Amino acid sequence: MVSGPSMRGLCLFVLGVLMISPLANAQQQSPISLMPIPSSVQIGSGRLLVDSKFSVGSTGYTEPRLDRAIERFLRQLSRQTGIPLAGKPSAPARAVLVIHTDHASKEIQELGEDESYVLEVTATGAKLTAPTPLGTLHGLQTFLQLVEVSPDGFTAPAVTINDRPRFPWRGLMIDSARHFVPLDVLKRNIDGLEAVKMNVFHWHLSENQGFRVESKKFPKLHEMGSDGLYYTQDEIHDLIEYARDRGIRVVPEFDVPGHSTAWFVGYPELASAPGPYEIERKWGVFDPAFDPTNEKTYKFLDQFFGEMAKLFPDHYFHVGGDEVNGKQWDANPKIQEFIKAHGLKNNEGLQSYFNKRLEPLVSKHGKSMVGWDEVLDPTLPKDIVIQSWRGPDALAAAAKQGFRGILSNGYYLDLGWPAARHYAVDPLSGAAANLSPEEKTRVLGGESCMWAEYINPENIDSRIWPRNAAIAERLWSPQETTDPASMHTRMEALANRMEWLGLTHKTYHRQMLQRIAGPSTPEEFTALSTLASVVEPVKDYTREETASAEPTSATPLNRLVDAVPLESATARHFGELVNKFLAASCHDAPAEARLRAQLTTWRENDAKLQPLAQRSFLVKEVSASSQDLATLGEIGLAALDLIAKGLRATDDWKAQQLATLQQIQKPKGQLLLIPAPAIQKLVEAAAAGGACSAAN
Amino acid sequence: MVSGPSMRGLCLFVLGVLMISPLANAQQQSPISLMPIPSSVQIGSGRLLVDSKFSVGSTGYTEPRLDRAIERFLRQLSRQTGIPLAGKPSAPARAVLVIHTDHASKEIQELGEDESYVLEVTATGAKLTAPTPLGTLHGLQTFLQLVEVSPDGFTAPAVTINDRPRFPWRGLMIDSARHFVPLDVLKRNIDGLEAVKMNVFHWHLSENQGFRVESKKFPKLHEMGSDGLYYTQDEIHDLIEYARDRGIRVVPEFDVPGHSTAWFVGYPELASAPGPYEIERKWGVFDPAFDPTNEKTYKFLDQFFGEMAKLFPDHYFHVGGDEVNGKQWDANPKIQEFIKAHGLKNNEGLQSYFNKRLEPLVSKHGKSMVGWDEVLDPTLPKDIVIQSWRGPDALAAAAKQGFRGILSNGYYLDLGWPAARHYAVDPLSGAAANLSPEEKTRVLGGESCMWAEYINPENIDSRIWPRNAAIAERLWSPQETTDPASMHTRMEALANRMEWLGLTHKTYHRQMLQRIAGPSTPEEFTALSTLASVVEPVKDYTREETASAEPTSATPLNRLVDAVPLESATARHFGELVNKFLAASCHDAPAEARLRAQLTTWRENDAKLQPLAQRSFLVKEVSASSQDLATLGEIGLAALDLIAKGLRATDDWKAQQLATLQQIQKPKGQLLLIPAPAIQKLVEAAAAGGACSAAN
């Protein structure tokens, strides 16, 4: 599946083309900007005009799903261009884009089906050919990404694209249990997955904080475990159809034996302690766990899995298996006795026993079991799939034992990492890089994870997008596709384009800021936006520890920390500009002027924001960050002044600025001020005097 | 219905409070900002905290609609504050907001029902009382507008509000025939109507360009007359229920005998010329008209009205009746003969005959007929209602003859007028001001009109909102409520708030700009936004005449003229600042500094926009406007420099600048550069020298 040498050559060529930034190319056509980058791209000459006469026809294999795909494609093309287009397929002889699909894909989409396609665009027409509808779907998305405004109308460049995925399992997990995620929000995110060619939606459906699926066999699960916030079986059917239409498998996860409080609200008899239980409102790892020594547990799960195995047609069935803290097991003498009696050593042994009992209940219903790292046990059938939150080494170890795996370590979207950090994580890195070719095929791909402690329908899209596109590219594109600058340029273009899918990652930002500000003058609102553009939420798992009160599922997510993107584009651009300036030994007048303008805006911003801070408690909360931003501006300008005058800063001055910068880098209002390290570079350059470039 | 003297006293007090702008009040609480302004407001002391414990209970009369209203209210409150709230009504004894509704309103909402309410908010709770659910619905909207971010959380000010509408008919007409408007777009606009207390949705359903209702009696109407874009009867039931839930009547309009090409595609035998007919694609007034001399016409309309009278429960039924150009009648000898034979004088007489035949067909089905000015005939029953596109004088003339009327002249949203111009139009102005009290009661209110030549789901909201709120206030609030500055401040606050209803008047603007720009640097995109913020589409009916090619229903609406709001807030604020500066005899240093900053931005904007103009045909189209904006900046700065130096500009210089400004005020790319007149004031001030204040 990894591209061969000749293909690699093409890829590098493509990267070369794509790395021309829109800036460098300002007077000409925009460069093509595909994400994920295809296996092979050959640029032709000329451009295909997309106007109101544009049409699509198809030959070869057809099915209603393909007709719907064409209609959706035309609707989407119409939205992104603003050109009214006839919404139905045309006769292929007269169509501008002709699609040829060779044969059907599997009725129930399978892991590893052929997803390849070839797309040829010339100045007079376009042709998309694919062995199966899965490839056709991907090719249509590529075409949509090719169409851009140009001097002569909306056009697509002449190009020949040969494309296929590197990994067969490319997924996004959404936790709709901690916070319920309404169906329409899931749907627009599935549209997003289609756009970046991901093919698995992993649906995390049960947690301590909620059980989200209607069960007809065990109705107390959703009736008592969900606060009324659950998906009916009809809605689930609907979502699965929706995903299938987009070439996306739906893998359900019912997390056992831990993460299971919500099950026990209705069925306390399955737990390892008597109860009663209430839906958990806090975040963390909790004690309740299924009782693996109770035969009723297996009888219940057998029946429940049977019901769910019918509801979810995919061959893979996720049983969680992560993070059992063992406290209920420790406290239950009957369970400890069972461990001894069965020679299980300890709680890990007990969980292993549980998994071995579980696996037949899954396979009995025709499914392969998926679980987090913890489920791995050499004695389990090789049929199971390990989802690794621990990393590529764990994945490699599993592969060596003959188990298949998918990587999620490094792909947790909720941790707030920059896209480039996710992008650098390769499923075949670390120990996995040294696997044999056969073992490598056991590394199926990966899944990004959107855990839901701090998301709601307003901000979930901005937590997933656009960063998830970087992970999608990692899993689809050739391994050599690694340039973060190219990735960022294309990701930002895609972020704008994806709004036409109805995703709200950009729109809600302003609305949330408006709510934070309340009635405000344009100048005040701009000041809030300026601050918002350079802060990010605290990273990793520090949000709980930095909270003023313990957060719960009822905590409002209406603060600046909830409204800002997880990665600041402004701060990144500023950092790049500082690097450019320093790389030129501080002799780059245009860069210096831009730095000065930006730093001056920051220095003066707090004064403009203060009236708002007097009126809104949500602005008052970020007042310290705003003052810090003013200080950053001041320090940066002072450093620039020294550099401009050719003066060398004193050690005292340097020490003082660095101490201030250290204070500024501490989180306030759970926010980090991202440009601080770039300012530090300027300070160090000023202190280095004439040798300012050395500081870079 | 007009407030008495004591109430008027209160109103002035309220206006006084509201006219404190948020700016003046920057260090304190935001002022209350209600729109429409209630009949009476008394400010109390303290504020009611709205947090996650907020709840609503009700006493007195209840019905499912009220329960749904409370749930919708809680959902909306939750959205606008970001605070998760229990979605169901609580026990009244423990509720923070207690609602008491006295008795039911009519099953089918009627014109003139009691819509009053009293809302009392204290620091510890709130009480809403209303005679009928209609008043309750209005009071809930008022409460939502009271809640704002404050230094201590989200709060509502202590206040006692006694409120009732000035006019009983306060409507918005949407033309969903020229461009089809999807149901969800209508629904979000009906949410908007509820927010501003309008109570009629007038649904313009048939036109030359489309027949938009499913008819089971005459299916060729929608099958052949709509391109498949029509509302099913189920959807119409659904929309009527949706509107009723929000205290809004739905008045359908089927426009006859003109504006009727789409009817004749399926039923050419009803027209005054043989046909065949096709759906019209162009805009304007067209020849096809029903044949008033053909008995089949009346038989058909009788049956059709019978079907529609059942589908639309409202007592009023609109038959259009406007703009028959008479060409088909002139050309048909049989019709001309009929005119002579019946002593009808001319085509007007024929149309009068038609209306007299029509009215019994409407009243037979239990309805009162509504028609545009043209239907007025003294011999028609006094039961009919005239909708005046001609003006208050026409309305007054009708009232004197005993006819009831509603005003739409002055309320056409598609003409692109500033909100203040609509706001100044009073249904009881002109000749109507001199009507007797009894005659005045025949002026039922008014309706804003959204004609649909240049709207689609992307930009319709921005064409209706926020300006429609000014018309809603005119029709609800006491006649004395006329201060445009207060209106603008409150309208801008409401515009932000209304986004939480799902209206897209702000969100789509940026997305459309993004499409126009294509991939762009932040600086380039800001340059486009800056230009977009100071232009408005050409006004009134000049869009057709300034078009480069004749527009049709297939013309893309993706240009800057389609993306910008119809009223530029930036230009308005700039104009106010110029006035302030000149009123201070040009001695206002902060104002001068702000003017300089704005003018400098404009002067430098075109250089930043030019790279985009090279890449995007949609930017290139507005390149001339961009250059003009740079010139405006230059001229303004030159004038400011002269003023600052105390120099008097020469007559030559003045003449030259005025000539340039005259050129700049000509539409380009169908756009007007709105700050030009304010710059002209600066030029005149500079030419007036030391007496610069005289120029104001």
- Closest chain A CA to residue B554: A84
Residues 387-446 in B contacting A (C-alpha not used; CB under 8 Å): none
- The DSSP 8-state label assigned to residue B148 in this structure reads E
Q: At what angle do helices B507-517 and B522-532 cross, to 10 degrees?
A: 120
pLDDT at A12 over 50: no
pLDDT at B401 over 70: yes
Residues 10-69 in A contacting B (C-alpha not used; CB under 8 Å): 22-23, 26-30, 33, 52
Residue B685: the pLDDT is 95
- Using DSSP's 3-state secondary structure scheme, residue B269 falls into helix
Among B84, B149, B517, the residue with its CB nearest the CB of A515 is B149
| Residues of chain B neighbouring A617 (CB-CB closer than 8 A) | 149-153
pLDDT at B25 over 70: no
pLDDT in tens, A21-60: 333 333 344 568 999 999 999 999 999 999 999 999 999 9
Q: Which of A253, A396, A272 is nearest to A312 (CA)?
A: A253
Q: Which of B422, B384, B434 is nearest to B406 (CA)?
A: B384
Is the bond preceding residue B611 a cis peptide, omega within 30 degrees? no
pLDDT in tens, B560-616: 999 999 999 999 999 999 999 999 999 999 999 999 999 999 999 999 999 999 999
Is A506 in the B-facing interface, judged by CB distances under 8 Å?
yes
User: Distance between CA A435 and CA A429 in Å, rounded?
Assistant: 10
How far, CA to CA in Å, does B29 sit from each of B17, B239, B648? 12, 39, 44
User: Distance between CA B423 and CA B409 in Å, rounded?
Assistant: 12
Verify whether the Cβ–Cβ distance A26 to B615 is below 8 Å.
yes
CB count, 10 Å around CB of B600?
A: 14
Verify whether the Cβ–Cβ distance B615 to A151 is below 8 Å.
yes
Lowest mean pLDDT among A288-302, A388-402, B97-111, B150-164: A388-402
Is B590 in the A-facing interface, judged by CB distances under 8 Å?
no
Residue A18: the pLDDT is 40
Please state the rounded mean pLDDT for residues B339-354: 95
Verify whether the Cβ–Cβ distance A514 to B496 is below 8 Å.
yes
Radius of gyration, alpha carbons of chain A: 27
Start-to-end CA distance of chain A, whole Å, equals: 40
Residue B56: the pLDDT is 97
Residue B312: the pLDDT is 98
Is B618 in the A-facing interface, judged by CB distances under 8 Å?
yes
pLDDT at B8 over 50: no
How far, CA to CA in Å, does A500 sit from each of A150, A172, A357, B515? 18, 20, 47, 10
Given a contact cutoff of 8 angstroms between Cβ atoms, the answer to whether B517 and B526 are in contact is: no
Suggest the residue from B55, B498, B504, B515 to mutate for an interface test with chain A (most A CBs closer than 10 A). B515
pLDDT at A346 over 50: yes
pLDDT in tens, B200-253: 999 999 999 999 999 999 999 999 999 999 999 999 999 999 999 999 999 999
Residues 517-536 in B contacting A (C-alpha not used; CB under 8 Å): 517-522
Q: Which of A274, A267, A272 is nearest to A324 (CA)?
A: A272
CB count, 10 Å around CB of B451?
A: 20
Residue B22: the pLDDT is 35
Q: What is the mean pLDDT of chain B?
A: 93
Verify whether the Cβ–Cβ distance B23 to A499 is below 8 Å.
no
Q: What is the mean pLDDT of chain A?
A: 93
Radius of gyration, alpha carbons of chain B: 27
The predicted model scores a pTM of: 0.93
pLDDT-above-90 percentage for chain B = 89
Instruction: Provide the token pair at B638.
Output: 């030159």
Is A153 in the B-facing interface, judged by CB distances under 8 Å?
yes
User: Distance between CA B520 and CA B299 in Å, rounded?
Assistant: 61
Residue A254: the pLDDT is 98
User: Distance between CA B611 and CA B520 in Å, rounded?
Assistant: 9
- Closest chain B CA to residue A509: B507
**Choice between A164 and A1, residue whose per-residue pLDDT is larger:** A164
Verify whether the Cβ–Cβ distance A620 to B151 is below 8 Å.
yes
- Closest chain A CA to residue B492: A519
pLDDT at B133 over 70: yes
Q: In sequence order, which residues have a C-beta less than 8 Å from that of residue B272 and are 6 or more positions away?
A: B288, B289, B290, B291, B328, B329, B331, B332, B335
- Closest chain B CA to residue A32: B519
Task: Tell me the one-letter amino acid at B532.
Answer: A
Q: Name the minimum distance, in Å, from the CA of B359 to any CA of chain A.
A: 39
Please state the rounded mean pLDDT for residues B53-73: 97
Verify whether the Cβ–Cβ distance B556 to A82 is below 8 Å.
yes
Verify whether the Cβ–Cβ distance B149 to A517 is below 8 Å.
yes
pLDDT in tens, A366-396: 999 999 998 888 889 999 999 999 988 999 9
Suggest the residue from B75, B460, B514 to mutate for an interface test with chain A (most A CBs closer than 10 A). B514
pLDDT in tens, A167-176: 999 999 999 9
| Residues of chain B neighbouring A511 (CB-CB closer than 8 A) | 499-500, 507
Catalytic residue numbers of A? 323
Task: Tell me the one-letter amino acid at B367.
Answer: K
**Three-class SS of B656-685:** HHHHHHHHHCCCECCEEECCHHHHHHHHHH
Residue A31: the pLDDT is 65
Suggest the residue from A47, A459, A507, A615 to mutate for an interface test with chain B (most B CBs closer than 10 A). A615
Q: Which of A231, A551, A538 is nearest to B84 (CA)?
A: A551
Residue B7: the pLDDT is 34
Please state the rounded mean pLDDT for residues A104-131: 98
pLDDT-above-90 percentage for chain A = 89
Q: In sequence order, which residues have a C-beta less than 8 Å from that of residue A473 and are 6 or more positions away?
A: A35, A36, A37, A196, A423, A481, A487
Is A512 in the B-facing interface, judged by CB distances under 8 Å?
yes
Verify whether the Cβ–Cβ distance A614 to B519 is below 8 Å.
no
Please state the rounded mean pLDDT for residues B628-642: 97
User: Distance between CA A507 and CA A500 in Å, rounded?
Assistant: 11
- Using DSSP's 3-state secondary structure scheme, residue B598 falls into helix
User: How crowded is the C-beta side of B360, counted as CA atoms within 13 Å?
Assistant: 7
Residue A691: the pLDDT is 53
pLDDT at A206 over 80: yes
* pLDDT interval class at A692 (50, 70, 90): low
| Residues of chain A neighbouring B522 (CB-CB closer than 8 A) | 569-570, 573
Instruction: Provide the token pair at B479.
Output: 């006649």
Bridge partners, residue B43, by sequence = B159
Residue with tokens 């030419």: B687
The ipTM, to two decimals, is: 0.92
How far, CA to CA in Å, does B473 sit from each of A453, B393, B408, B477, B482? 43, 21, 15, 5, 9
| Residues of chain A neighbouring B521 (CB-CB closer than 8 A) | 22-23
- Closest chain A CA to residue B522: A570
Kindly report the backbone phi and psi dihedral angles of residue B431, in degrees, each rounded to the nearest multiple of 5, phi listed first. Answer: -60, -25
Verify whether the Cβ–Cβ distance A615 to B82 is below 8 Å.
no
- The DSSP 8-state label assigned to residue B562 in this structure reads H
Given a contact cutoff of 8 angstroms between Cβ atoms, the answer to whether B137 and B194 are in contact is: yes
DSSP states of A188-254: HHHHHHHHTT--EEEEE-EETTEE-B--SSSTHHHHHHSTT--B-HHHHHHHHHHHHHTT-EEEEEE
User: Distance between CA A587 and CA A9 in Å, rounded?
Assistant: 37
Kindly report the backbone phi and psi dihedral angles of residue B578, in degrees, each rounded to the nearest multiple of 5, phi listed first. Answer: -60, -45
Is A511 in the B-facing interface, judged by CB distances under 8 Å?
yes
Please state the rounded mean pLDDT for residues A8-18: 36
Given a contact cutoff of 8 angstroms between Cβ atoms, the answer to whether B634 and B589 are in contact is: no
List alpha helices for B63-182, DSSP H: 64-81, 133-146
Given a contact cutoff of 8 angstroms between Cβ atoms, the answer to whether A68 and A56 are in contact is: no
Residue A690: the pLDDT is 60
Among A23, A80, A617, the residue with its CB nearest the CB of B515 is A80
Residues 58-117 in B contacting A (C-alpha not used; CB under 8 Å): 80-84
Instruction: Return the biggest CA–CA distance within chain B.
Output: 81
Residue with tokens 């106007």: A51
pLDDT in tens, A556-592: 999 999 999 999 999 999 999 999 999 999 999 999 9
Verify whether the Cβ–Cβ distance B518 to A150 is below 8 Å.
yes
| Residues of chain B neighbouring A556 (CB-CB closer than 8 A) | 52, 81-84
Q: Name the minimum distance, in Å, from the CA of B18 to any CA of chain A.
A: 13
User: Distance between CA B219 and CA B424 in Å, rounded?
Assistant: 44
Verify whether the Cβ–Cβ distance B458 to A84 is below 8 Å.
no
Please state the rounded mean pLDDT for residues A677-684: 97
Given a contact cutoff of 8 angstroms between Cβ atoms, the answer to whether B109 and B249 are in contact is: yes
* pLDDT interval class at A689 (50, 70, 90): confident
User: Distance between CA B449 and CA B444 in Å, rounded?
Assistant: 16
- Closest chain B CA to residue A574: B522
Size of interface A-B (CB pairs under 8 A): 139
User: To 5 degrees, how large is the angle CA B217–CA B222–CA B228?
Assistant: 145
| Residues of chain A neighbouring B615 (CB-CB closer than 8 A) | 26-30, 149-151
Verify whether the Cβ–Cβ distance A149 to B617 is below 8 Å.
yes
* pLDDT interval class at B24 (50, 70, 90): very low
- Closest chain B CA to residue A494: B519
Q: At what angle do helices B233-245 and B64-81 cross, to 10 degrees?
A: 80
- Closest chain A CA to residue B569: A522
- B276 CB burial (10 A radius; 0-12, 13-18, 19+): exposed
- The DSSP 8-state label assigned to residue B55 in this structure reads -
Among A30, A52, A558, the residue with its CB nearest the CB of B519 is A30
pLDDT at B16 over 80: no
| Residues of chain A neighbouring B590 (CB-CB closer than 8 A) | none
**Three-class SS of A117-169:** EEEEECCCCEEEEECCHHHHHHHHHHHHHHCEEECCEEEEEEEEEEECCCCCE
